[in-house]
Amino acid sequence: MDYEIVIGLEVHCQLLTETKIFCGCSTHFGNPPNQNTCPVCTGMPGALPVLSRKVVDFAIRAGLATACEITPSSVFARKNYFYPDLPKGYQISQFELPICLGGHLDIEVAGESKRIGITRIHMEEDAGKLVHPEHEHGVSYVDYNRACVPLIEIVSEPDMRSAAEAVAYLKAIREIMVYLGVCDGNMEEGSFRCDANISLRRWGAPKLGIRAELKNMNSFRNVQRAIDYEVERQMDILDGGGQVVQETRLWNVDRGISMSMRGKEEAHDYRYFPDPDLLPVVVDAAWIEEVRQSLPELPVAKRQRFLDDYAIPLADAEVLTADRAMADYFEAVVKLSSSPKLAANWIMVELMKFLNDDKIDITQCPVTPQSLAELLSLIEDGTISGKIGKQVFAQMYSAADNNPRKIVEDQGLAQMSDSGELEAMIDEIIAANGDKVTEYQQGKVKLFGFFVGQVMKKSKGQANPQMVNKLFKEKIG
């Protein structure tokens, strides 16, 4: 390709605080319209904002986790524009002096590690939501439940060079914010959303090309698709000798294309200025330290520790650390059982299958780490086979009985490892299949499987397969 792709992302995270950023109203999602409101968040004349300390805590947390400097005195500014979902006619945000500056994040794409710069993180309030009822023509309603819900915006440097890098960065940011408990990371519901600034330039060109801003991409896949589409679009323009227009474009998921929303001429002049209703946000070293102490282990560090401590493959470590609760679950199981590898397999294959089928997450899993660990020790000591183990697990999951030992005992599922009993069974099978034994001994080795199968059938699957193999080998060579 003749061009270098340059991408920067602006990520908005809705914070998981109980109350709004500038008033005491609940942030609870799904309440009837305008129930979570008060004079402050509906912009009543004379009402004033008061900053929630918790929001600052969360912003510092996000900043520390992405190696940012925390600004000792940051300033809220008003971003002025008119829209019915914006009750005051301005959004309280941060502009010249945001809470966090100059961080970075390492991502990995195709086995290569790359550092992406983070320009800034700032705090701001969300807007309300317009409701257009289907059956009432020419009428719209406004729901201010979401107005004043806290957000942080994380702005990257234009350091990404492909859609794959952009997605990797977005995934890494999402993973960290979810780990920190700062954001639930839900892209479909919009509590984690991103805008992408994309431009192309000829290789080696010192200046960045003219960029377009893409909005409305509500999944990782759509981010990838929208960027690919945009790169394609700009390339066609440049190849045709044209010039890219600076504009904001809206991604249309259904049609798989983006369309111009507004050009440079229609771009708002937001007339930012410091909000005189709020004092500068002063964060001292003690506050930063307090937040630092409360930071959880981050995914990258956890992944490395899993590799070092449990000797599981990298792919497993990645899956298990993708979710903090999942990682905690895994560690709880490992603490009580002797094989981390076995625990990893069971969680990733069996457990995740059940969770996915039920569309629930690990925190709602009916099988406790203790029960799973017990099941794994039954498998390891040969009491049951892996296959029976799956059967037992299904019963544990359906919560009929969470105690694997009891299930095995009650239903007589313990493996047959008694060599006398097995020998008798094998002798019987040899006697009943003399012709096949002869064929086997003449070289038709595939028949070995048939003999083993006969034993398993006769033992209702409870025969210890290793022992069966061993005994057959001894008897018929």
> Contact residues for another protein (CB under 8 A)?
39, 42-51, 78, 80, 82, 84, 87-90, 142, 269, 271-273, 276-279
In the list 13, 15, 25, 317, the residue contacting Zn ion (rule: CB under 5 A) is 25
CB-wise, 276 or 412, nearer to another protein? 276
Residue 41 binds which of another protein, Zn ion, none (CB < 5-8 A, kind-dependent) = Zn ion
Applying CB under 5 A, the span of 34-42, 134-142, 315-323, 438-446 interacting with Zn ion comes to: 34-42
Least distance in angstroms from the C-beta of 37 to another protein: 11
Residue 315 binds which of Zn ion, another protein, none (CB < 5-8 A, kind-dependent) = none
Instruction: Enumerate residues 6+ apart whose C-beta is below 8 A from 169.
Output: 9, 105, 107, 116, 156, 160
Q: Is 55 in the site for Zn ion (CB under 5 A)?
A: no
Least distance in angstroms from the C-beta of 249 to another protein: 22
CB-wise, 37 or 395, nearer to Zn ion? 37
Q: For 341, how many CA atoms within 13 A lie in the half-sphere containing its CB?
A: 4
CB-wise, 42 or 337, nearer to another protein? 42
The residues in 274-293 that bind Zn ion, with binding defined as CB under 5 A, are none
In the list 16, 41, 92, 151, the residue contacting Zn ion (rule: CB under 5 A) is 41
Least distance in angstroms from the C-beta of 108 to another protein: 40
Residue 351 binds which of Zn ion, another protein, none (CB < 5-8 A, kind-dependent) = none
Which of 45, 27, 44, 47 has the alpha carbon at shortest distance from 36? 27
Least distance in angstroms from the C-beta of 374 to another protein: 53
In the list 38, 51, 237, 288, the residue contacting Zn ion (rule: CB under 5 A) is 38
Least distance in angstroms from the C-beta of 137 to another protein: 13
Least distance in angstroms from the C-beta of 92 to another protein: 11
CB-wise, 107 or 149, nearer to Zn ion? 149
CB-wise, 34 or 162, nearer to another protein? 34
CB-wise, 41 or 217, nearer to Zn ion? 41
Least distance in angstroms from the C-beta of 255 to another protein: 26
CB-wise, 277 or 297, nearer to another protein? 277
Determine the Cα–Cα distance for residues 459 and 13; give it in Å rounded to an integer: 57
Least distance in angstroms from the C-beta of 133 to another protein: 16
Q: Is 60 in the site for Zn ion (CB under 5 A)?
A: no
The residues that touch Zn ion, with contacts defined as CB under 5 A, are 23, 25, 38, 40-41
